[in-house]
Structure 1
Amino acid sequence: MTITAPTTLPTSDADPFALDLLEDPLPFQAELRDAGPVVHLDKYSVYAMGRYEQVRAALTDWQSFQSAAGVGLSNFRHEKPWRPPSVLLEADPPFHDAPRAALTKVLGPRALMRLRDAWLADADDLVDQVLSGGDTIDAVPALAQAFPLRVFPDAVGLPKEGRENLLPYGNHTFNAFGPHNSLVAAGEPYVAELSAWVNTQCQRENLDDNGFGAQIWAASDRGDITATQAPLIVRSLLTAGVDTTVNGLAAVLYAFATHPDQWQRVRDNPDLARTAFDEAVRWESPVQTFFRTATNDIHIGDVVIPDGEKILMFLGAANRDPRRWAQPDEFDLYRDPSGHVGFGMGIHQCVGQHVARLESEALLSALAKRVSKIELTGTPQRHLNNTLRSWRSIPLRLHT
């Protein structure tokens, strides 16, 4: 890749969605940060930001950095989206406000308190099952995928049948935020079937009476949201509530396998389980990128991003920016990771982040009671996605 730096706007000929860069994005992200606060990516004719200061500012300035034109490469001002846009992720005020408020209430502290004891018990049961099969596992299917798929669909109120569709649907959705490359093409034969299944689950009659989904529909009965918005909000839960958590859990398990001293700290002080998850989200950034669209001519230093242009924000690069973080490439529980942008920032910040934290706390607490050491037994394998930093396999030995 080549990055050149003229007087005002550095440019790059790199393709951040090329498979080799998705496999190992860190060198490119370092070059992007060093080139300047804004870089033009010639491959896609978009502007890019990799420094923490500018990424955080863009995430919080929804008035100038629009989400409603799509948070992927496609510009909804000129292109028709492949599915109805998310009323949360791909909407701005005032259209964003009522759905956000309704879901925030559904996923609030009272709801999580009701789930806490059951999820802690579920995590204990899962870890017991895993350890009963021997001490060598693949952490991705055995833990990182198994636990969210065990507890989150129940909380939403989904039936048991068909839950295996959630991961491939989410995988394609996050791939589709990028260009139409081989990763998108691989998922296209299954899109219609997966979308039909997900849309069916979002209907009131298919949801358990006591889950998050039913509560969202109840909000429509009260007039807090419309009956058209209700299934789209449930869909947002199913789209963004599984893959992101799976990859966050995989990241924290990989972190402990490669940093045994940090695992010992959690065993000594289980309260660090939540800090560990946030540090892993900062360190690995399960969501690597999101786009915005300029609503006016935006001035950043000497650079002007013209109205209507797409801006690619590298959350992963911002979360390892040495201008913000000391020794950013280290996974370190002595660090305060609050302020990372792994969950976004501002009004579009992930509304389900506290649910993900509770899932991680439950799983790590269960492991900490039984497992003295987490050790890699082979080479981990990445699962490539245009937006997500994912794992296909993390072979581990759990020492009890």
Structure 2
Amino acid sequence: MASDLLSIAASGARAARAALDVTAQNIANASSEGYVRRSVSISEVSAAGGQNRLGDISLSGARVSGIDRNADMFRQAEVRRTGSDLARANTELGGLENIEAAVEQSGVYDSIVEFEAALQQLSADPGNPSLRAAVLAGADTLANKFNIAVDSLGAAGEGLRFDAAASVEQANVFGEELARVNLRLARASEGSSDRATLLDQRDTLLEKMSGIVDISTTFAADGTVTVATGGETLVSGGQSAALAMTTAGDGTIAFQVGGAPIAPRGGSLAGAALALESARDVQGRLDVLADQIAGAVNAAQANGVAFDGSPGQPIFAGSGAAGIRVVATQGSAIATAPAGSPAGSIDGSNLAALRQALDGADVAGSANGLLFDVSSAVSGRTVTRDALDAIAASARISLEQQAGVDLDTEAANLMRFQQAFQASGRAMQVASDVFDTIVGLR
């Protein structure tokens, strides 16, 4: 007959042994990052009945037809997408929190309030040298607070740019490695253990890349993948394009792939770009605020006279929050009296005009509004981040439930395949006993 008991039992033993090996791999890699559960596909082997009996098909045992990965490409794509969104939100939120700390801890708002309070106290006694010195000290403190705020913003921006540059380098490393995996996948045998391992590496690299920049993927029949971002191809076959970053004069960053500009919408690079744009806007508002204060004070000085009767001179010099500084050295230089007043005048009408100018510009309100806007942005992004975190966690749990290793299931499989192996061995023993009995007949 076409099938013989020994070959059938031997094929069953080989299939059971292969299934035991795969089950052991699953158990050993249950906690390995990126590992996808494998299963063995076992199919029946059939043979024709012989000459003139081609229609007579009999079973001839079993064979391992392949090793399958229990991966769901749609769930994997969802994990990449939600992870990319979460990485963007985390990076942007971290940058905004640093911006908030830079503005709040610099004490710009408090120093404006204290400067205005010193001006109010001086208005009660314009000739008091101690109060004049306090106003000048308040002005110097205010200028220093603006300088500190800009330095802190610069440090926050530098940290974001440093991390973004490191992420760009990492993305290029992942792209080169993915290109090598593509080449190896193109040569890997269908259904082999090596191919399953390469597919795990491919999917892990894709997930890591999606955390840096949002990507779109196209999979070929041989398992190779083409990766693009912003409409530009990052990886195709065994080739990878270079991702690059440039920094503008205002501290914001832009990205290119192979020299072509792209605008990331996800990943840590998108979050860094958004945070740096916020830092630029905050510094712009600080610059406007510093110029408003310096302009109002210096304009009032120009319309009045110092305590010695000389024309009023600027108290502030420089422009913007980074450049503002106090140039007056004596409290007597504060022009509290209007032009034409004699030396030693205690006429405080010019000081009143200065206070009115500051009130009209509402510099304290502008500073408070800046703090409120930054804090509101942090609060809003925190809510968004938490929502994206929940969505990403749900997507990952769904993937792990489908593709992860369940140790209880694997333990049951160990027993099942071990029993199958023992049964095949028992069948071979029975076949041997039958043949021995036949040979012993006389």
TM-score range normalised by the length of the shorter chain: under 0.3
Larger helix fraction of residues: 2
Q: Which has the larger radius of gyration?
A: 2
Query: TM (normalized to structure 2)?
Result: 0.20
